[in-house]
Amino acid sequence: MTDALPPRGCQAAEPAEDSYFRKGCNPLAETGRSKLQNQRAVLNQQILRAVRMRAGAENLLRATTNNKVREQVLLELSFVNSDLQILKEELEGLNISVEVYQNTEETFSIPLVPLGLKETKEVDFTLPLKDFILEHYSEDSSEYEDEIADLMDLRQACRTPSRDEAGIEMLISYFLQLGYVENRFFPPTRHMGILFTWYDSFTGVPVCQQNLLLEKASILFNIGALYTQIGTRCNRQTQNGLENAVDAFQRAAGVLNYLKETFTHTPSYDMSPAMLNVLVKMMLAQAQECAFEQMSLPGIRNEFFTLVKMTQEAAKVGEVYMMVNTAMTQEPVKENIPYSWSKLVQIKSDHYKALAHYFVATILCDHELQSSDDEDQQEKALSQLYDHMPEGLMALTVLKDKVQRKQLGKAHLRKAVVYHEEALRVCGLCKKLRNIDVLQEVLTAAHKRSLLKYAQQEKEDDFLSLIQTPDILPKTEHKVETITPQFSKVKVKDFFHRLGPLSVFSAKQRWTAPRTIRFHCEAGELGFSLKGGSPVQIYCLDPACSAASMGLKEGDYIVSVGGVDCKWLGVNEVLEKFKSVGEQPIEFEVISCQDTTASMHSKSATYSVGMQKTYSLICLAMEEDKIDQTKKAPLKLPFLSWGTKNRQKAASTLCLPSAVAGSSQTKKKLSPFALLNTESSLY
């Protein structure tokens, strides 16, 4: 195992190079986050059992005609549905357990929302890859046991990544390694028999497919989720910490957006285009919130133009959270987004709108126009805060008239108090949010400050001086955007490099088994030329030469000379090996490329937009739909729908995957994660 280091708090029993903890992975870390992930894993298993019971009950309900049996089955279904709902609420509670992800320092900031990592089951690559190496590449598969073990160790390490850049780099390295594995071992015309199982991050329902795209998409989701956890972990009481938080959330949004645009047919709801669109908006909103905190961290000076700037920045944060809240309340994601998330987003939208109105009120109440002030600049700045001034008012008149300033200022204070009270009301409606003390403290302190400011104004008849409060135009000098992931910055070496150059030795191309050519040079002439890079090809073959008589063909690839592998050697290097033989017979191995049928697209489940409307549980099916062989259409794996609201049309039946025949355990390189291979020890 390379790049190894001991976990925190553990003494290394041997040198670092022999330690089995991969850099970026710490499976023994007893942190609040790891305990939370372990609870998620337990809930996933409970949900799976409930799903199986529900599937069996629904099958029995459809099969029986006995009224008494039907009544008993319906009663059982009601209990199972209730159990599933309770489990879903427990999982939602874990999703909103944001405290364990926050910075451990004392803070007075509204908590940020991270994403939990997707859970997965173990995958054994050994038999399928060894069989493919023997069948497709005609090589001794036992020589590649170490490479297969390294691949499995890397995947196992990715289940418990550390919450830092090393963890991100490890996940990216596995994602890039999957690209090599896909090209090496996954032909486009058939499946490899490797079953990938991933649990939905929000519902805990498993999705099983023999498609490597599910594995790649899930790793991408976890990269984005890990970035969100890094962002929430940053110290928001320092400028550097806030800069890192903004960067982390922008990178999280970039990864999730890349996932949405690249993998458009993922069968898991947490990776559906609609859900990813909401998550991208939420991460950008949190980045905008951190940018605002970064500006206000040194303190907000009670100065006219400074307050104008902070007003627009606060209004911008309120606007982006309002857009996130709108997206969360739309179909098809409305029923799957945690309730406390949508309420927290609504609270933040009201809170920052209230701050914007409070800042405007401070401008109007505390800064009367003086002879030394720049009248034109203040008029321009005030007018730019609104889309239009209240009826009967003009910006310059408001600045000069003390009564109008006070009336408009009090109108903004009333609006601020209304927004603060709404934020507190919504917070009180959600049990999970009521238990977050720092959230209650921030909202209460802001509310009291606005009330105090309002009470400081002169007593007057508000009913005779009511002014309709204008909306504040949002504006920011720190616009946040998605940061596209730069996978090329992580250097990864193909584990199966020894198979040869990927451009030639891939799963898309087929060759004959290696043939041995043994011949003598005639008058120092080979009878053929060599061309190409690695590996070299036979070119301009003389049909009368001795090599041709031994079965050498035009276009053959040379894979070894004198028993030495030369797949990665160029023309000059192969010629040097021929010359080094001297007068002895030359012996080398060649392969011939076979004609392959037109490649088809990888089979993948198709995401159904209408399925969220009846979202209760995902039903997994491993059998392929029958497709007319005469039609040239890509094969697709079935994707069954959820069915609480429409069971007659789409009753959810869980088709559990059967064990792959001949998938018995074989001897492989000892993995340090062998002790973690039980379902109860995921984290």
Give me the CATH topology for the region 100-299.
1.25.40
Query: What length does the chain have?
Result: 683
For 366-386, write each residue's pLDDT tens digit.
Answer: 877 666 666 788 888 888 888
Which residues on adjacent β-strands are paired with residue 515?
A: 590
Q: Select, from the ranges 33-37, 71-75, 458-462, the one with the highest average predicted confidence (pLDDT).
A: 71-75
User: Is residue 399 within 8 Å of residue 369, measured between CB atoms?
Assistant: yes
pLDDT for 449 beyond 60: yes
In the chain, the percentage of residues whose pLDDT exceeds 70 is 76
Query: Cα–Cα distance between 72 and 70 in angstroms, integer?
Result: 5
Confidence category of residue 129, pLDDT binned at 50, 70, 90: very high
Pairing of strands 557-561, 586-591: antiparallel
Q: Select, from the ranges 258-272, 311-325, 622-636, the one with the highest average predicted confidence (pLDDT).
A: 311-325
Q: What is the pLDDT of residue 56?
A: 83
Sign of the C-alpha dihedral computed for residues 537, 541, 545 and 550 taken in this order: positive
Q: What is the pLDDT of residue 455?
A: 86
Q: What is the pLDDT of residue 277?
A: 95
Q: Give the residue from 669, 659, 563, 676 showing the smallest Cα distance to 145.
A: 669
Q: What is the pLDDT of residue 610?
A: 36
Measured between alpha carbons, how far is residue 101 from residues 15, 210, 438 in Å?
32, 33, 14
For 60-106, write each residue's pLDDT tens digit.
Answer: 888 888 888 888 888 888 888 887 777 766 666 665 555 545 554 55
Measured between alpha carbons, how far is residue 212 from residues 123, 124, 191, 199, 263 in Å?
12, 13, 9, 15, 12
Q: Select, from the ranges 14-23, 330-339, 560-569, the one with the highest average predicted confidence (pLDDT).
A: 560-569
Mean local confidence (pLDDT), 124-139: 92
The tokens 């601020």 sit on which residue?
Answer: 416
Can you tell me whether residue 96 is helix, strand or coil? coil
In one letter, which amino acid is 442?
V
Mean local confidence (pLDDT), 468-490: 90
Query: Cα–Cα distance between 313 and 288 in angstroms, integer?
Result: 9
Encoded tokens for 175: 């994602």
According to DSSP H, which parts of 510-653 are helical? 546-549, 571-580
Query: Cα–Cα distance between 136 and 25 in angstroms, integer?
Result: 34
Question: Which CATH architecture best describes the domain 510-592?
Answer: Roll (2.30)
pLDDT for 622 beyond 50: no
pLDDT for 418 beyond 60: yes
pLDDT for 672 beyond 50: no
Q: What is the pLDDT of residue 86?
A: 78
For 280-327, write each residue's pLDDT tens digit.
Answer: 999 999 999 999 999 999 888 888 889 999 999 999 999 999 999 999
Mean local confidence (pLDDT), 461-490: 82
Query: Cα–Cα distance between 207 and 220 in angstroms, integer?
Result: 16
Q: Which residues does 208 contact at the CB level (< 8 Å), separation at least 6?
A: 195, 196, 197, 620, 622, 657
For 223-254, write each residue's pLDDT tens digit.
Answer: 999 999 999 989 999 999 999 999 999 999 99
Q: What is the pLDDT of residue 105?
A: 53
Q: What is the pLDDT of residue 276?
A: 95
User: Is residue 494 within 8 Å of residue 525, measured between CB atoms?
Assistant: no
Q: Which helix (H) or strand (E) holds 565?
A: strand 564-565
Mean local confidence (pLDDT), 511-530: 83
pLDDT for 556 beyond 80: yes
Which residues on adjacent β-strands are paired with residue 25?
A: 161
User: Is residue 624 within 8 Å of residue 637, measured between CB atoms?
Assistant: yes
Domain spans of the chain, in order of start: 32-97, 100-299, 301-478, 510-592
In the chain, the percentage of residues whose pLDDT exceeds 90 is 35
pTM of the model: 0.76
- Averaged pLDDT of the chain: 78
Q: What is the pLDDT of residue 466?
A: 64
Can you tell me whether residue 99 is helix, strand or coil? helix
Q: Please check whether the two domains, 100-299 and 510-592, share a CATH topology.
A: no
Confidence category of residue 124, pLDDT binned at 50, 70, 90: very high
For 522-531, write each residue's pLDDT tens digit.
Answer: 766 788 888 8
Q: What is the pLDDT of residue 94?
A: 63
Half-sphere exposure of 117 (CA within 13 A, CB side): 29
